[in-house]
Amino acid sequence: MSDQSADAPTEQKSSRSILDSILETALHEMNRERSGLLLSGLSAGLDIGFGPLMMAVVLTLSPASFGDLTTELLLASVYSIGFMFVILGRSELFTEHTTLAVIPVLDGQASLRDLGRLWGLVYVGNLVGGLFFTLLVILLMPELGVVTPAAFETIALKLVSHDLPWLFVGGVFAGWLMGLLAWLITAAQETTSRLILVWVVAGTIGLLHLPHSIAGNVEVLFGLFMSPAITLTDYVGFLVLATIGNAFGGSIFVALLKYGHVVRGAN
């Protein structure tokens, strides 16, 4: 006799169970050793760099550029590769924790000091990992033969050529989407579902060219090191405003609203 339970549909998680899972995960991360958080953040910063690298490869090998629909869709798809490595690999990404780590604070189970500790360690690890990745690619690039400095410059200019208010507002939307992704990943039951979610959400950020502080850190660093068109001021301005926008978007539009509607009786 066949096992009928194997064919039964997986029961969808309730909003309360999603919130409980997030609380459990976030509290576990907050209680980790500093070195563990820092190394996990470093790993995420390294892994996410493969997305910007593959974007540069596509721009180098493609006869078209930004503005061509096929190229834009392909760029958005390869941009999501780094997020797949990080999120499915369970490394710590700052923009996920703009939602995940805020919820225990809202629930009274963690303090702002705990939040600042987690954010600080993960963020520093992400940035240092991105820097290491960038330097490694620059060393390898002459032998790779599939990517040019011009491609890195084009990608970086897409992020730094906007005015400052746009960087903040765009960062809010990127943080909003990343916070939503963190919630949806917790709700998803299977690896395949999670993979699709990462591809859709990260691909949306890539297609809209929204400023993601961690992936964008690598994108702009490539431009800073390889093109005179990108200055240190461009890099710092991008990083500061994208980071603030990401934190605001994930904290307000996802953590606060999702937590608020669940504790008020959502099923």
- Residues 169-214 have pLDDT tens digits of 999 999 999 999 999 999 998 999 999 999 999 999 999 999 999 9
Q: Which amino acid is at 114?
A: D
User: Who's near 150: CB < 8 A, 6+ residues apart?
Assistant: 60
pLDDT band at 2 (very low <50, low <70, confident <90, very high): very low
Helices (H), the chain: 4-7, 15-30, 34-47, 50-61, 69-88, 94-100, 102-106, 112-144, 149-160, 164-187, 191-208, 215-226, 232-250, 257-263
Question: The whole model's pTM is what?
Answer: 0.92
Q: Is the pLDDT of residue 266 over 80?
A: no
5 falls in which pLDDT band (50, 70, 90)? very low
Q: Which of 1-10, 83-92, 168-177 has the lowest mean pLDDT?
A: 1-10
How far apart, in whole angstroms, are the C-alpha atoms of residue 151 and residue 162? 18
CB 215 within 8 A of CB 52: yes
Kindly report the average pLDDT of the chain as a whole number: 93
Q: Which amino acid is at 172?
A: V
Percentage of the residues of the chain whose pLDDT score is greater than 90: 89
Confidence check: pLDDT of 267 > 80: no
- The per-residue pLDDT for 144 is 86
Residue 265: pLDDT band by 50, 70, 90 thresholds?
confident
Quote the pLDDT of residue 13.
81
Per-residue pLDDT, averaged over 134-157, amounts to: 94
What confidence tens digit (pLDDT) does each residue in 106-135 have?
A: 999 999 999 999 999 999 999 999 999 999
Q: Is the pLDDT of residue 24 over 60?
A: yes
State the pLDDT confidence band at 262, using cuts at 50, 70 and 90: very high
- Contact between 125 and 42 under an 8 Å Cβ cutoff? The reply is yes
Residues 6+ apart with CB under 8 A from 116: none
How do residues 25-78 score in pLDDT, each as one tens digit? 999 999 999 999 999 999 999 999 999 999 999 999 998 889 999 999 999 999
